[in-house]
Chain A
Amino acid sequence: MGTIKDRYAIVGVGESERSRKSGTTPLHLALEAANAAIKDAGLKATDIDGFMNYNEGDSCTSHQLATYLGVRPKYVKDIQGGGASTEMLIADAVALIEAGQLNTVLIYRSMNGSSGTRVGRGYDPDMLQGALAGGSFVIPYGSASPSQWFGMYATRHMHETGITKEHLGHVCLSFYEHAQRNPKAFLHGKPLTMETYLATPDISSPFNIHDSCLELDEGNAIIVTSAEKAKDCVSKPVYIMGMAARQCHPHAHYWNDIDQVASDYVAEELYENAGVTPEDIDVASIYDCFSWVVMRQLEAYGFAKRGEVGDFVAEGNLKIGGKLPTNTAGGMLSEGYTHGMNNAIEIVRQLRHDYEGTDRQVEDCKIGICTGWAGPDIAGAMILRN
């Protein structure tokens, strides 16, 4: 992947309305998001020859989306995948373009995440036992939610590194503050104070409702093409400096070793491919299905040393104006949860300086990171520049 540096770009991003109850299907949401991204890029739908999506059995197919955009696609791909799939599919798209198979690829995630199937909920327990690696050693004990799965990691990690509930609160407060600057954030107009945060009871320790992502109905889309073809687009291209498409925990039953996460394996490859260091990053999108997941990644990606992450977030470094403005649209904790893709869209908009002249713009930002976390088991990330 080292040789792709700056040779591919994200040229279009778009989203549908976000709501608690869309009243429509994931296909409609995907069409709305795709049309927005196509318009953003200044392309025609027929300029796109590859369509990819990730889902949890809760979406429409890429072939359906292409069909109703009036396109006969050359290539379609639908994967079952968690919150590191945006980065992985972008890498797949780049590889297929590099291989001469495709010209321009649209990647989307569309889901009725609130009114339809909710990720990690309502599944048949016996199905889950079979679907999870070592599931029969987990499910019979009542552990069926990502909050419980990742919480097991969080409790130990917080114990070892001195991270407190209040530190988690600083992650939430930082992102909620960003949501107050984003009229389209679902929690716009609903600021959070530390007092309220600390008074909110846990759902499953160490997480309360504020520590958990905001499940909504929404579609997101991203268009990737070559730097060459990007010149034909009306948008400012955001170039891919480097990627680590995917890394995995050594064991599929990741509770086997809760002292490590897949993200620990991503950073070295990522920074080497991009040719930058953590100090070079101006703006970040850090996958935030839960507040602690951000903390653990700040450590994994070298933004703060192990044991110092709590102080790092308490000092306000995740806020616009801090050392590492992160999840500047509010993130999945307060903008909305589109399984990671909305965070990728935001980093593109920041790097294009779409918010110039407003308090949302990270001033003069040039280089950004976007991380994906499908769980402690699977992760990936990319570094982008303007």
Chain B
Amino acid sequence: MTQAKTAYQKPIPLKDIDNAPYWDAADQHQLALQKCVDCTAYSQPPGPTCAKCGSENVTWEQLGNDIKATVYSYVVSYRPFLPGFQEELPTIIALAQLDKVPEVKIMGNILNCEEKDLAIGMPIQMTWVDITEDRALPQWIPATN
């Protein structure tokens, strides 16, 4: 886990009635995914109903904190488009495909990664950055094993 050094300037994920369980789990350094009881599809991002079949019968699955994935796609940004990113350029933004649930892809930054090492298919793992007193942001780092 990485501790942010100065006051956090970047946008903080806004919790709402549909996504709160995801961010609440993240604050505890855990991944939770919304899943449909009727058709078993995962919803990422979570929503009011299943985006696959419209069922209101949705639940949450806890996936823990050992989350492995591969890079499905990425961009490298050399300019900040939002506050707080000006200090950490370039910014790597990736779409991570979960090993256990390949149909789910989660966006995040890849930390501790040189641009030259970045590639589609690269193994990564989820980490959590404590950004404020009570909030943590899921992020990705190159897989260690």
Contact = CB atoms under 8 A, between A and B. Distances in A.
Interface of A: 121, 125-126, 128-130, 133-145, 147-148, 151-153, 155-156, 159, 201-206, 250-251, 253, 255-256, 258
Contacts of A155: 73-75, 120
B51 interface: yes
Contacts of A253: 45
B81 A201 contact: no
A145 to B, nearest CB: 4
B73 A153 contact: yes
Interface in B102-130: 105-109, 120
Contacts of B72: 156, 258
A260 B79 CA distance: 27
6 contacts: A130-B14, A142-B82, A152-B93, A159-B120, A204-B81, A258-B73
A152 B73 CA distance: 6
Contacts of B14: 126, 129-130, 135-136
A250 B74 CA distance: 22
Contact of B107 (A137, A147, A205): A137
Given A136-B13, A140-B11, A251 B93 contact: no
A256 B44 contact: yes
Given A121-B81, A202-B78, A139 B11 contact: yes
A256 B120 contact: no
Given A126-B11, A136-B13, A141 B83 contact: no
Contacts of B83: 125
A256 B47 CA distance: 12
B111 to A, nearest CB: 11
A130 B81 CA distance: 17
Contacts of B78: 201-204
B91 A142 contact: yes
Contact of B109 (A136, A141, A203): A141
B85 interface: yes
B63 interface: no
Interface residues of B, number: 36
Contacts of A139: 11, 13, 82
Contacts of A204: 75-79, 81
B108 to A, nearest CB: 6
A155 B19 CA distance: 28
B36 to A, nearest CB: 14
A56 to B, nearest CB: 16
A152 B51 contact: no
Contacts of A140: 10-13, 137
A258 B94 CA distance: 12
Contacts of A141: 93, 107-109
A136 B73 CA distance: 19
B80 interface: yes
A144 B82 contact: yes
B95 A125 contact: no
What 6 A-B pairs come out closest when comparing CB atoms? A134-B45, A156-B73, A125-B11, A151-B75, A204-B77, A144-B81
A120 to B, nearest CB: 8
A145 B85 CA distance: 13
A9 B76 CA distance: 44
Interface string B55-80: 00000000000000000111111111
A335 B80 CA distance: 27
Contacts of A145: 77, 81
Contacts of A128: 11
Given A136-B14, A137-B45, A256-B44, A142 B85 contact: yes
A142 B13 contact: no
Contacts of A151: 75
Given A141-B93, A148-B75, A129 B11 contact: yes
Contacts of A148: 75, 77, 81, 93
Q: Which of B13, B80, B108 has the most chain A CB atoms inside 10 A of its CB?
A: B13
Contacts of A129: 11, 13-14
